[in-house]
Amino acid sequence: MRARITGTGSYVPERVVTNADLERMVATSDQWIVERTGIRERRVVAEGEACSDLGVQAGERALKTAGLSPADLDLILVATCTGDMPLPSTACLIQHRLGATRAAACDISAACCGFVYALAVADAYIKTGLRHVLVIGSEVMSVITDWTDRNTCVLFGDGAGAVVLSAGEGERGVLSSHLRSDGSLCDLIVVPGGGSRHPPSEKMLNERLQYIKMKGNETFKVAVRTLEEIARETLAHNHLSIEDVDLYVPHQANVRIIKAVAERLGLPLEKVFLNMDRYGNTSAASIPIALDEAVREGRLREGHLVMIGAFGAGLTWASTMIRW
């Protein structure tokens, strides 16, 4: 029995923030942003639009393409680090709004790796007997972005993507997942405030601890190394070579990171899916958004081998091989 992706969906807010817009906010330039990140614009939520709102839209679209109703779902997993509130889980809010009355629901927190982690959990549950699992990556990164910090505000965007995994026989489906973490590198990407270590307070707000802090150069080096290592591990586990991969869908963080990984793997860029130029880094939402776009653009077809890879705060990194 394999967990097969039977439906994909995505949703991004209407508001577009371009690099030209950021030039009017901080000391930066379109050329600088594009050269260093590959990002040209990103989407930002409207006032009052929250993580669950994006996730519901993406989830409904994934269910529609899978030909399922919410009542068919056994489990809903939401990968996010920007949920509606500390509790309850955003997954429960989405479960209620979808009307998935039979489904259990919970969030998974692994930052930009969240979707790949959630996919692995869904795969494991399907192997225990569940039939249909909805996996959503939904993020409102704009709420934890310091729009006065030119080093980080150029990177992030809001959006949601979703897939439906269904139990099926045969060779198609998730072939393997590989998850890693290293908490000693937790300070590379961190939001220090808002939790039990630095609870909400006037002092926390004055020190702007509610926003993302990044060590960009160190993160770049670790990201390239870990993405290459986990990709090679995934290929070896499945007795595949890089030439066997039809499409590589990496976390859409930085085009220079992705190009460096592809070069190290010997993977031609035409086999790499890229869309961060339009959306920026949407954290856990980036890979499911990319998968949905790849399907709609005809770049993913039945029988294709697709490898996905991500790294994120924690530090976490992960990869999955799927026969579509």
On whether the CB atoms of residues 221 and 308 are closer than 8 A, the answer is: no
Q: Is 251 assigned a catalytic role?
A: yes
Q: Is 186 assigned a catalytic role?
A: no
Give the whole-angstrom CA distance, residue 47 versus residue 37. 27
> Which is nearest to 212 in space by CA: 156, 172, 259, 128?
156
Catalytic residue among 92, 113, 254, 281: 281
Catalytic residue among 51, 92, 112, 153: 112
User: 122-125 — which CB contacts under 8 Å span 24+ positions?
Assistant: 122/3, 122/75, 122/77, 122/165, 123/3, 123/165, 123/174, 123/177, 125/74, 125/75
Residue 270, classified by CB atoms within 10 Å of its CB into exposed (0-12), middle (13-18) or buried (19+), is: exposed
Distances (CA, A) of 183 to 94, 190, 312: 30, 11, 11
Q: Is 281 assigned a catalytic role?
A: yes
User: Which residues partner with 183 through β-bridges?
Assistant: none
On whether the CB atoms of residues 243 and 207 are closer than 8 A, the answer is: no
Catalytic residue among 19, 113, 251, 254: 251
Active-site residue numbers?
A: 112, 251, 281
